[in-house]
Amino acid sequence: MDKPSVPASVEAKKTERPTKRSTKRPARWVTRVDDLWHQVFGPLFKGFETFGQILVLTGQAFYWLFRRPFRWREYLVALDFIGVGSLSIIVLVGLFTGAAFSLQVTDTFRTFGMESYIGAMVTLALVRELAPVLTALMVTARAGSAMATELGSMRITEQIDALRTMAVSPVQYLVTPRIVASIIMMPLLTMVFSFAGMVGAYLVAVILLEVDHGLFISETEWMVDTYDIKIGLIKAAIFGWVLSSVGCHQGISAAGGAKGVGLATTRAVVYSSVAVLMLDYFVGDILLIIYESPS
């Protein structure tokens, strides 16, 4: 039985070789512009993305703050680690910060015959700026890095995933206690720093450099007001939120094994420190408008 004949057009299509698609590369200037765009604006967009993730994490943390079960033990552990554990370094740094600042101020003010303002000058600088900022930097270096390392290690070893399988929210169990504890303890540590700094300033100015005790105390009482202390404490609470939320976010977002944990810890310290110094200006400007000096 003869096979059916195949049309000639079909045979011709079978024998034709497929034509290669054109693989024309984009112009070199287009590639350079694209690379420059990613190099210049890539970190900026990444920063906005990270900032948004931190805000979302903060919102989730405060949402779980009012949800059962209330794990009070986790809050106490976080308060002890962030507050009591940082007390010694805060006292030491505060004491020598006040001493060094008083030494320089006394040497300068004596040139202009303004020794009576030394105590007030040092105290205002401490309670408004130095105490909240340096306290935040010290707590960031000690507690913020520890948060990122601990949560990053739990992330890499899948302990956070294990919490989810047990119907436990990682945000409620790990993040909320640390953020709340930081917001509570930072103002308290700032007051300790201010007191230690004033003690150091008094020892250097009055005891070593023989500034009049009465002028040192009286001018300080006259010039330092309650609103000055409020400015420092509000800054401290905001800095506490920043360093804890950044540390927790970097820890939870860690990936890539032990190297990833190290990078997360480094980013947590760097981002927190930069954010504290930037917010110090903007928050200070806003608070100076709200709490106008009564004098």
Q: Rounded to an integer, what distance in angstroms lies between the CA atom of residue 283 and that of residue 278?
A: 9
Q: What is the mean pLDDT of residues 146-169?
A: 87
203 close to 116: Cβ distance less than 8 angstroms = no
Buried b (16+ CB within 10 A) or exposed e, 87-109: eeebbebbbebbbebbbebbeeb
- Kindly tell me the sign of the dihedral angle through the C-alpha atoms of 99, 105, 109, 114: negative
Model confidence band, residue 19 (pLDDT cutoffs 50, 70, 90): low
Q: What is the mean pLDDT of residues 217-241?
A: 89
Mean pLDDT of the chain: 84
If you write DSSP's letter for every residue of 183-231 in order, what string do you get? HHHHHHHHHHHHHHHHHHHHIIIIIIS---HHHHHHHHHHH--HHHHHH
Whole-prediction pTM value?
0.82
Query: Is 34's pLDDT higher than 90?
Result: no
More confident residue, 272 or 253: 272
User: Is the preceding peptide bond at 43 cis, omega within 30 degrees of 0?
Assistant: no
Give the closest residue to 248 by CA, choosing from 88, 60, 27. Answer: 60
Residue with tokens 């070593």: 208
Length of the chain counted residue by residue: 295
261 close to 246: Cβ distance less than 8 angstroms = no
Model confidence band, residue 54 (pLDDT cutoffs 50, 70, 90): confident
- Residue 73 exposed, middle or buried by CB count within 10 Å (0-12, 13-18, 19+): exposed
Share of the chain above pLDDT 70, in %: 85
pLDDT the model gives residue 37: 67
DSSP state of 181: H
Q: Rounded to an integer, what distance in angstroms lies between the CA atom of residue 238 and that of residue 255?
A: 28
Q: Where are the domains of the chain?
A: 51-290
- Residue-wise pLDDT for 65-84, tens only, equals 888 888 888 889 999 999 99
Q: What is the dihedral of CA 31, 32, 37, 38, to 10 degrees?
A: 70
Most confident of 12-16, 59-63, 267-271: 267-271
